[in-house]
A and B are shown apart, each in its own frame.
Chain A
Amino acid sequence: MTVFKGFLTITKRNLGMMFLYIAVFLTISIFVSKTLGDSDPSGFTAKRLNIAVIDRDESLLSKGLKNHLRQFHHVKDVPDDAAVLQDKLFYRDIYYAVIIPENFEQNYTKNTEKLPVIKVPGSTSGHYVDQQINTFLNNIRTLTAGGFSASEALEYTEESLSFRPNVRLIDQTGHNGNMAKHAYMFQYIPYIILSILCYILSYIMLSFGNKDVKNRILCSCTSTRSMNLQLILGHIVIGLGIFLICVSMPAILYPKDFLTDPNLPYYLINSFLMMLVALSIAFLISSFPLREETINGIVNVVSLGMSFICGVFVSMDILGKGVKTLARFLPVYWYEIVNNLLARNHSLSASQTNELWQCYGIQLLFALSFLAVAMVIRRKRPS
């Protein structure tokens, strides 16, 4: 076990650098998980806007529409003057103005023509008012087309729109519909594991990759196979150390949520497989004749590249179709699929469990493939 012991001795000499990297990456990870985890996507609160309704029809229906909008917004009294309306919108005294033209009752209940409106350009709240007006008009149109008079249509419309359904969100995540904070940490773990392991192991392996040292080892009676196995063992020891540090962080920061999460074993298996993938990638990188200066660049490309493409930094839901297709050829994608599955489901169905194990298998295959390629390169590489 001379090569293994030598590997550990060199690791010991690089402990300072190791802890520096670990501290930097874990700090970033904790910061990101805190930032992402603090947002509350479950609640929606309707905003009351300042709007203007210019009623040129003064009919039963136009008054009905005005009253309907008053339930949701502050309807301001604004004179029927285009210049004044523009000014009010410009200074944000109002955000939306709807003009009800003359003969509204005759013209707008018979066809699907839209009411003229003026709104702040690009305003998302404006769409909300559009939707409320359209809902009101569609109801009126449907009822008048069905033979109801205008007053009856108005009465039934108000009645139906005043109905408030009782919506209850099903808590699939076990955290009031939100993703658990430790899930955000696990989302970020591939970047930490990849970066730390690739940096540290590449630096350590630089010593073993030195041509003269390598030749001296090749001249000895320690076989190449034994040497590679001992180096792999060294990688695994470092990998396990980093893995334990990474998974202990959510246990320390969010002990209650994390340790009681029924998906805890799945999270651990997933990140363990990610550690194996990262180790095999690190072993592959160190199989090439690298210089100290080039390690930084290569590790950044690998860890940042995979993290951006595979949904580590941004949710996979907002990644483009092309990016996702490309990401399927990378192991981190399958890690994030599992992580999303665990984060969004408190308990897993049979098909979800099946999908989970498939993703685990794919990650393991990736790890074995990288390792095999590394072994071939090491064998073929001239001394």
Chain B
Amino acid sequence: MIHIENLVKRYGSFVALDHLNLQIQEGEIFGLLGPNGSGKTTAICCLLALLKYDKGQITIFGKEMQPDRYDIKKDIGVVMQNVAVFEQMSVWENIDYFCGLYVKDKAKRRELVEEAIRFTDLEEYRKARPKKLSGGLLRRLNIACGIAHKPRLIILDEPTVAVDPQSRNKILEGIQELNRQGSTIIYTSHYMEEVEQICSRIAIIDHGRVLATGTTEELKNMIKTGETITIEAVAADEHLLEKLQTLPHVFDISYEKQVLKIRLSSGRHNLVRILNFLTEQDISFGRVFSELPTLNDVFLEITGKKLRD
């Protein structure tokens, strides 16, 4: 559905997109994951022909994207990072206005607007002006304005920034519902949990480059970490840490403030083996827990830094 090939975008000497390549299939919820300043929004702006790029090619629905390709634009819905609505118009008028940019038939538009209002649960606020709405409601209005015309492709650029957890869940459920109704979704965020929760495929992007692409499982399989065991209230010395390092599958150990963190590659009975070893060494310990790798681990291992740096 979308092909981005060798996309390069420079701002003076700063390279925002460095030969970015992406393939997005119809029906996917495709997550674009990266820290602030990684090039996510720039990539989206280039995709929507809002920004000129220096090199590369973008095709959407098999056609090359250009600023005047209104035949492509009519099937795209956009929900940008910042709330983009008219302060002087009511909720209903705003949705009707932005839907009207795509749908000329009045009766059909009225139906679509009503549907968008129901979908975003804004029935009570249809006559309210944006300044009377809370942050979460504003975000929902922003989404309603972007999706009312029922586009084939919906691009959501960090739609949950500064939203309370309740509204965030509502928004995420809505996105999944839109996908079920047949829309392909591109979702950018720096919230890993959200991306992990809703995206069928993810691209990790940093410094304007795609570092890895795949499903959550595929990405997790790409890294060495299979399990992280954390043991609290341990009195460990250098000698003990050296011995632990020699155990099977253990490849990284850190010890700080009496908390021992052991990272292991995938293997059976890793936890039992570690606990048996500590018992044999007559080492007492407090709480123990084991975690499977998260996208954060994936990001940490691939980029060498935390996602929210």
Contact B84 A215 (CB under 8 A): yes
Please determine whether B50 and A217 come into contact, CB atoms closer than 8 angstroms: no
| Nearest chain B CB to A225 CB, angstrom units | 9
Flag whether A361 is at the interface (Cβ < 8 A). Answer: no
A10 touches B88 (CB 8 A): yes
Contact B78 A213 (CB under 8 A): no
Q: Decide yes or no whether A212 CB sits under 8 A from chain B.
A: yes
- B88: chain A residues at CB < 8 Å are 9-10, 13-14, 207
Q: A10-B89, A215-B84, A219-B50 are in contact. Are A2 and B78 (CB under 8 A)?
A: no
Beyond A9-B88, A213-B84, whether A220 also contacts B50 by CB under 8 A is no
A350 located at the interface, meaning its Cβ lies under 8 Å from any Cβ of chain B in the complex: no
A222 to B71, CA, bound (A): 10
Q: Are B84 and A216 neighbours in the complex by a CB distance under 8 Å?
A: yes
Which chain A residues lie closer than 8 Å to B50 at the CB level? 215, 218-219, 383
A223-B68 in contact (CB<8A): yes
User: Which residue from chain B places its CB closest to the CB of A203 in the assembled complex?
Assistant: B88
Among B48, B84, B89, B146, max chain A CB count under 10 A is at: B84
B80 within 8 A of A: yes
List residues 67-116 of chain B with CB under 8 A from any CB of chain A. Answer: 67-68, 70-71, 73-74, 76, 78, 80, 82-89, 93, 97-98, 100-102
Contact A221 B97 (CB under 8 A): no
Contact assessment for B70 and A223 in the assembled complex, using a CB-CB cutoff below 8 Å? yes
A112 at the interface (CB under 8 A from B): no
Q: Tell me if A6 is interfacial: C-beta within 8 Å of chain B.
A: yes
Known contacts A218-B50, A223-B68, A2 near B84 by CB under 8 Å = no
Which residues of chain A come closer than 8 Å to B83, judged between CB atoms?
212
- Identity of the chain A residue whose Cβ is nearest the Cβ of B98 in the assembled complex: A216
Contact: B78 with A6, CB < 8 Å?
no
- Decide: B102 and A219 in contact? CB cutoff 8 A: no
Give the chain B neighbours of A216 by CB distance below 8 A. Answer: 78, 80, 84, 98, 145-146
Contact residues in B for A3 (Cβ distance below 8 Å): 101
Interface residues on A, range: 20 to 34
Task: Closest B residue to A213 by CB, please name it.
Answer: B84
User: Shortest Cβ distance from A298 into chain B, in angstroms?
Assistant: 21
Q: Tell me, rounded to whole Å, the shortest Cβ–Cβ distance linking A379 to chain B.
A: 11
Knowing A9-B89, A383-B50, say if A221 contacts B101 (CB, 8 Å): yes
Bound-state CA distance A383–B67 (Å) is: 12
Q: How far is the CB of B118 from chain A (nearest CB, A)?
A: 22
Query: Which A residues from 183 to 220 make CB contacts under 8 A with B?
Result: 207, 210, 212-213, 215-220
Residues of chain A within 8 A (CB-CB) of B93 are 6, 9
The interface residues of chain B lying within 8 Å CB-to-CB of A217 are 101
- Contact B102–A213 (Cβ < 8 Å): no
Chain B nearest CB, measured from A366 CB (Å):
31
Q: B78, B82, B89, B101: which has the most chain A beta carbons within 10 Å?
A: B101
Chain B residue, CB-CB nearest to A12: B88
Q: Cα distance A222–B87 when bound, in Å?
A: 21
B85 A213 Cβ-Cβ under 8 A: yes
Q: Are B101 and A210 in contact (CB under 8 A)?
A: no
**A11 vs chain B, min Cβ distance (A):** 9
List the B side residues contacting A207 at CB < 8 Å.
Answer: 86-88
Cα A213 to Cα B145 with chains together (Å): 11
Given contacts A9-B88, A207-B86, A213-B85, whether A219 and B97 have CB atoms under 8 Å apart is no
Task: Name the A residues within 8 Å of B80 (CB-CB).
Answer: 212, 215-216
A14 to B74, CA, bound (A): 31
Contact (Cβ within 8 A) A213 B48: no
Instruction: Across the interface, name the chain B residue whose C-beta is closest to A10.
Output: B88
Nearest residue, chain A, Cβ from B79: A216
Query: Would you list which residues of chain A between 1 and 22 have a CB under 8 Å from chain B?
Result: 2-3, 5-6, 9-10, 13-14
Query: In the bound complex, do residue B86 and residue A219 qualify as a contact, i.e. CB atoms below 8 Å apart?
Result: no
A220 touches B73 (CB 8 A): yes
Q: Closest CB of chain B to A8's CB: distance in Å? A: 11
Q: Once the chains bind, are A2 and B89 in contact (CB under 8 Å)?
A: no
A210→B70 contact, CB < 8 A: no
A207 to chain B: closest residue by CB: B86
Contact B73 A221 (CB under 8 A): yes
B147 to chain A, nearest CB (A): 12
A73 to B48, CA, bound (A): 89
Question: Which residues of chain A have C-beta atoms less than 8 A from B97's C-beta?
Answer: 2, 5-6, 9
Which chain B positions have C-beta within 8 A of A14?
A: 88
Report the minimal beta-carbon distance from B237 to chain A, rounded to whole angstroms: 58
Q: Once the chains bind, are A212 and B84 in contact (CB under 8 Å)? A: yes
Tell me which residues across on chain B come within 8 A of A215, comparing CB atoms.
Answer: 50, 78, 80, 84
How far, in whole Å, are A212 and B159 apart by their CA atoms in the complex? 14
Q: Using known A-B contacts A9-B88, A218-B50, A219-B73, determine if residue A212 contacts B101 with beta carbons closer than 8 Å.
A: no
CA distance A14 to B86 in the complex (A): 13
Residue of B nearest to A13 (CB): B88
Bound: A383/B46 CA distance, A: 12
- Taking CB atoms, residues of chain A closer than 8 Å to B84 are 210, 212-213, 215-216
CB–CB A2/B100 < 8 A: yes
Q: Roughly how many angstroms separate A213 CA and B88 CA in the complex, as a whole number? A: 13
CB-based nearest A residue for B82: A212
Question: What are the interface flags for A98-111 relative to B under an 8 Å C-beta threshold, 1 for contact and 0 otherwise?
Answer: 00000000000000
Q: Could you tell me the distance in whole angstroms from the C-beta of B154 to the nearest C-beta in chain A?
A: 11
Q: Which residues from 24 to 74 on chain B have a C-beta closer than 8 Å to any C-beta of chain A?
A: 48, 50-51, 67-68, 70-71, 73-74
A-B contact pairs, 22 of them (CB 8 A): A2-B100, A2-B101, A5-B97, A6-B86, A6-B89, A6-B93, A9-B88, A9-B93, A10-B88, A10-B89, A14-B88, A212-B83, A213-B84, A213-B85, A215-B78, A215-B84, A219-B48, A219-B76, A220-B102, A221-B71, A221-B74, A222-B102
- Chain B residues with CB under 8 Å of chain A are 48, 50-51, 67-68, 70-71, 73-74, 76, 78, 80, 82-89, 93, 97-98, 100-102, 145-146
| Extra inter-chain contacts (15) besides given A215-B80, A216-B146, CB under 8 Å | A9-B89, A9-B93, A10-B86, A207-B88, A210-B84, A212-B82, A213-B85, A215-B78, A215-B84, A218-B67, A220-B73, A220-B101, A221-B73, A221-B101, A383-B50
